[in-house]
Amino acid sequence: MRLQRLNRLGSVEQVMKDVKSQASKNAPASKQGGLNAEIQSRIGHQLRAMYDDVVRQGVPDRFAELIRKLDVPDTDPQVGSAGGPENDGRD
Amino acid sequence: MPLTDSLRDDILASVPSLRAFAISLSGNGDRADDLVQETLLRALANIDSFQPGSNLPAWLFTILRNLFRSDYRKRRREVEDAEGSYAKTLKTQPAQNAHLEFEEFRAALDKLPQDQREALILVGASGFSYEDAAAICGCAVGTIKSRVNRARSKLSALLYVDGAEDFGPDETVRAVIGGSGG
């Protein structure tokens, strides 16, 4: 029973990456006060990884096309219909 | 200023990070692209109010951020399939470990208050200075700093201090547990 439980936690731990165990090992000193520097850098890394993953996708065609079309003032198909002139994007 | 070729190119060059910002905020790829589209339309319609030489990305981010916030108020009661839609926006399927860790991070990010989340993304991912982020969010620099700090503390607590039970095994984890444990 006990073994099974450990096993179970062990699997979760593995999946969740070594970070967590590593972090808790190094965390005690700074747990109450500021953030552990290692955790902070890990969070920064994850945040940028998530963000850059999208950035690397580049410009989807629909947007390239949109900007190209709107370059010619006469054709101007959609500006103004998307929102009222009052709401210029400000809160 | 008028829409010159170079301004158009600059706007185009901002699209990838606008999308990343929109997806980070909304957690939903389709909605994010709608946000970006509306941002571009607003920007182009109001291009005369853009000051040449000022920070174009910050200007565009401000528009997107404000659109998101007014949109968010309208939609807050709608149930959204944030994780599923987000995963679809990824070009490559990450390896399972990375994918799970990613979902975990995404879920933690979604738990942050909106003010903190946007501050953290602008400073920590988009690379804006505290000053630019403050201008985009329309608040004081000190406010941004404290939001970023609180966001980091909370993420840290969610991801690394409270441990796995805070999230509970989702179906993917359960499958992995079932596979390796039995």
pLDDT given for residue A10 in this prediction = 44
Question: Shortest Cα distance from A30 to chain B (angstroms)?
Answer: 11
Distance between CA A86 and CA A59 in Å, rounded?
A: 29
Distance between CA B111 and CA B157 in Å, rounded?
A: 11
A67/B11 touch (CB, cutoff 8 Å), yes or no: yes
Distance between CA A4 and CA A6 in Å, rounded?
A: 5
Helix (H, G, I), strand (E, B) or coil at B149: helix
Closest in B16, B46, B164 to A12, CB measured: B164
Q: Which of A15, A17, A26 is the best residue to mutate to test the B interface, defined by the most B CB atoms within 10 Å of its own CB?
A: A15
Report whether pLDDT(A13) > 50: no
pLDDT given for residue B86 in this prediction = 54
Over residues B31-82, the pLDDT tens digits come to 899 999 999 999 999 999 999 889 999 999 999 999 999 876 666 545 444 4
φ, ψ for residue B94 (rounded to 5)?
Answer: -65, 160
| Cβ contact B116:B136 at 8 Å | no
B161/A46 touch (CB, cutoff 8 Å), yes or no: no
Over residues B50-63, the pLDDT tens digits come to 998 899 999 999 99
Distance between CA B18 and CA B158 in Å, rounded?
A: 27
Q: Write down the residue that tokens 């999946």 correspond to.
A: A15
**Looking at per-residue confidence, does B109 or A90 come out higher?**
B109
**Looking at per-residue confidence, does A7 or B129 come out higher?**
B129
B66/A91 touch (CB, cutoff 8 Å), yes or no: yes
pLDDT classification of B2: cutoffs 50, 70, 90: confident
Q: Which of chain B's residues have a Cβ under 8 Å away from the Cβ of A12? A: 164, 169, 173, 177
pLDDT given for residue A55 in this prediction = 95
Q: Which residue of B has its CA nearest to A11?
A: B177
Distance between CA B162 and CA A12 in Å, rounded?
A: 14
Distance between CA A33 and CA B104 in Å, rounded?
A: 24
Question: Shortest Cα distance from B44 to chain A (angstroms)?
Answer: 8
H runs (alpha helix) in A16-76: 19-26, 37-55, 61-69
Closest in A11, A54, A89 to B19, CB measured: A54
Q: Is A29 on the interface with B (CB under 8 A)?
A: no
pLDDT given for residue B87 in this prediction = 53
Distance between CA B74 and CA A35 in Å, rounded?
A: 36
Report whether pLDDT(A23) > 70: no
* Helices and strands: H and E segment counts in chain B: 9, 0
pLDDT classification of A32: cutoffs 50, 70, 90: very low
Helices B29-45 & A61-69 angle (0-180, nearest 10)? 20
Please state, for a pLDDT cut of 90, what percent of chain B lies above it. Answer: 56
pLDDT classification of A72: cutoffs 50, 70, 90: low
Report whether pLDDT(A26) > 90: no
pLDDT classification of B88: cutoffs 50, 70, 90: low
**Looking at per-residue confidence, does B23 or B4 come out higher?**
B23
Structure tokens at B34: 């709608």
Q: Is A54 on the interface with B (CB under 8 A)?
A: yes
B40/A13 touch (CB, cutoff 8 Å), yes or no: no
For A57, half-sphere exposure in the C-beta direction (CA atoms, 13 angstrom radius) is 22
Distance between CA B68 and CA B39 in Å, rounded?
A: 9
pLDDT given for residue A35 in this prediction = 55
Closest in B66, B67, B100 to A15, CB measured: B100
| ipTM of the complex as predicted | 0.75
Q: Is A41 on the interface with B (CB under 8 A)?
A: no
Closest in A9, A46, A89 to B105, CB measured: A46
- Across the range A23-41, mean pLDDT stands at 59
| Cβ contact B50:B62 at 8 Å | no
- Across the range B147-155, mean pLDDT stands at 95
